[in-house]
Structure 1
């Protein structure tokens, strides 16, 4: 078999394959034999149908096409093996199949062209001496107190209030009904009611940031049984566009008022919320945990900065096979994540929506491929490897951790662990050979946000799950407390 290679765009290899007359004749004869054994033609026993009857019944074009399919499939397979090509996915026939069928003659050579995707060549312009910036997440000494205060509020007991009006920090039970204010309503016409802007026996904590600005403040000072109207303005960026920026009035009746009775922060409190016996032990553990958490976030920011720069430095002509595989993986991960959140993915991932999900996943897929190929290229150039003993040890640890799982494939687990350990080792090497300047938390994200605001907006299709509360609340961020 004669094979001629040609380099094509998108990491493809073009193959011109010449099949000998002996092989093409053998393939054609095999088609006849298989058809003769399986054909059910009245008046003839299976396997005893004459050749001319088979040709008459099925047609010479169909027989030649069947033979050519075998010739092309086996020819590409043998050419890949003969030329030691690292092919990805299936082949693509570049010749016109109908023309091949018309030109096919028994006892003559068959020549056709095909293409296969191959592992792409990676051009990594630079990967050492990089100068980057990453946000440093510092430990907040107040984080322990904030955590304990949040737990106090979670465990607080609601007790009835009497003898005083509502104040910040209370929990109120109210009826409310909203209407929009317009020039027409000011002149005595009926005001337009706010869709979903009505509720009975609605429980809300009187705290800053609850509902739209002015709503909670308007309830402060009210007494149980009292009703009044509270004027507010919907913010310009309100999620419901038909309400954004419009003035409104809510008729509110305060039906009940409670205040939170907080537990005292002492050893008993520590035992209530943790396994520790003393408050001192709990505070010490929390302090260590928050310090480690801050360091992990800083390390993650450094790694992300490195990987983002690596993607920018990678030049690679990605084959379509790899792109499609990565998109498939991203869509699958999205479906699994949404399913765990309780979303019915069968309703979300319809035949109409799947192409949109795939299109939206394309930029991330390309970025992930560039990152993965860039890391692999660094490992190849610097001979970075993972010791088999380390892979075996880590694999064993994971197997013990998931001992209850019965469908774990040990070989796939070993491959996953090896890739994970190798990635960690490469990133560590890159950090050691780069300069990463730590900057205050929020400084880089603020710059990125400004740049994003200057860029043209992109239309995205978001998956949303509406709840009754989202329709009745003046502010979408408010959550009803139990």
Structure 2
């Protein structure tokens, strides 16, 4: 067998292969022999029919296709083994470049055959520099107002509803309303869009914001009319965007009696003994959240800087793998939100293809970032702390045991995943430490172009597996 290699675009290596006739003849003879032994020909006992009758019953074209497919598969395996350097960098499977139909038409067992195939390989990276970047990143200051809003939300949950007749509707009340939705084009009510005796939390996060705003300040038995357009994500979907009129009748109003923000309240919603301790905990969480977002902004800023300089051809295999991952993430999310029966109807081939198309820019960004971080790991010889690795793997295994999933987890594969995660984090930390980052006010970079959000899968210190979305902020 003769093999000629050729470097191709998109990080591929081409294989031009010539296979001597003896190999195809040997495969042909074995397949025919196996068929003669197993095919039942009318009038003959199994394995006793003449070869020509077996060939006539099976069909010579089918046999030639089987011989050719096996010949190509074995030739490619052998060619890859003979070229260790390519084998070590190979990604995915071979792609047959030659036209299979033409090969079948011209194929004669026992005669030499030539064909071409290609395989994706690790890209050759050009990176003029991998440190010393100067970037800006937004500094997120702790928003301590979140402490009060969090406490208030818990007060609302713990509140007691009391009928109200002597004042108009306020935020956080609970109102019972009759809601009609009129189609302005026909003047008729839209069936299934309205509801009688609908109990509504007077909070813009709880229902259509403009409806909530319209009833604030309304009195008992008042009728409010409001022209608008049918909102997205509401049923029936065919009315979305059409002109409508809401007709809202206020039937009852209930106010909330909020519990006092005292030590008893703190004990009822947490393991803290005093309201002061609870406030301190919430303030710490707000500070940690701000620090985490600032760190994420710093990481994204230097990642954007290094990926702007890196150059390489992206193999199709990496793109397909990344698209598979991103689509799987979306499917996993929807599985938790949508009824399984509806989900099967929802996920058509066309929808999945559209999801892949829309995910393409994010996939390219993720690949570039990973290649850049891999290059840092290689150039700087970054290593994994074995104590840290063991601790993370043990925590993850404990989590899976608690979930009853430990039997399905391959520890070796888990070690590989956690190792890659730690190396990636080490590379990010190294990149941040070896760059000059100027922190600027939150929102000051908002108008500048931003890459799509990047989702990272990680095993948390307590063993939980999470998907974390981080917005990119760059100079």
TM-score (norm 1): 0.80
Partner of 1:403, secondary structure, is helix
Flag the structure with larger Rg. 1
**Distance change (3 Å), C-alpha of 1:180 and 1:323:** closer
Task: Determine the C-alpha separation between the residues in 1 that align with 2:102 and 2:210.
Answer: 73
Task: Determine the C-alpha separation between the residues in 2 that align with 1:39 and 1:425.
Answer: 61
Query: Structure 1 residue 144 and structure 2 residue 147: aligned?
Result: yes
**Distance change (3 Å), C-alpha of 1:35 and 1:411:** same
Alignment match, 1:440: 441
Partner of 2:199, secondary structure, is strand
Assess if the C-alpha contact under 8 Å between 2:323 and 2:356 holds in 1: yes
Query: Structure 1 residue 322 and structure 2 residue 323: aligned?
Result: no
**Distance change (3 Å), C-alpha of 1:145 and 1:96:** closer
TM-score (norm 2): 0.81
Task: Determine the C-alpha separation between the residues in 1 that align with 2:5 and 2:416.
Answer: 32
Please, which runs of 5 or more residues in structure 2 have no aligned partner?
A: 234-239, 453-475
Alignment match, 2:355: 357
Partner of 2:369, secondary structure, is helix
CA offsets 1:316-359 (integer angstroms, 9 cap, x no match):
22222222222222222211111112343212112332222222
Assess if the C-alpha contact under 8 Å between 1:161 and 1:259 holds in 2: yes
Task: Determine the C-alpha separation between the residues in 2 that align with 1:303 and 1:219.
Answer: 44
Match of 1:369 among 367, 375, 383: 367
Task: Determine the C-alpha separation between the residues in 2 that align with 1:25 and 1:180.
Answer: 76
Alignment match, 1:399: 397
Match of 1:113 among 96, 111, 116: 116
Please, which runs of 5 or more residues in structure 1 have no aligned partner?
A: 183-189, 453-482
Task: Determine the C-alpha separation between the residues in 1 that align with 2:153 and 2:105.
Answer: 79
CA offsets 1:238-260 (integer angstroms, 9 cap, x no match):
884223xx8x57353x3222221
Task: Determine the C-alpha separation between the residues in 2 that align with 1:94 and 1:213.
Answer: 59
CA offsets 1:372-414 (integer angstroms, 9 cap, x no match):
2221122112222224443233212221233232321101110
- Please report how far the alpha carbon of residue 446 of structure 1 lies from its aligned counterpart in structure 2 after TM superposition: 4.3
Alignment match, 2:463: none
Task: Determine the C-alpha separation between the residues in 2 that align with 1:80 and 1:268.
Answer: 71
Match of 1:250 among 247, 250, 254: 247
Match of 1:168 among 167, 170, 177: 170
Deviation larger for 371-380 or 47-56: 47-56
Assess if the C-alpha contact under 8 Å between 2:40 and 2:47 holds in 1: no
Task: Determine the C-alpha separation between the residues in 2 that align with 1:30 and 1:393.
Answer: 54
Alignment match, 1:296: 292
**CA RMSD in angstroms, aligned pairs only:** 3.2
Assess if the C-alpha contact under 8 Å between 1:212 and 1:232 holds in 2: no
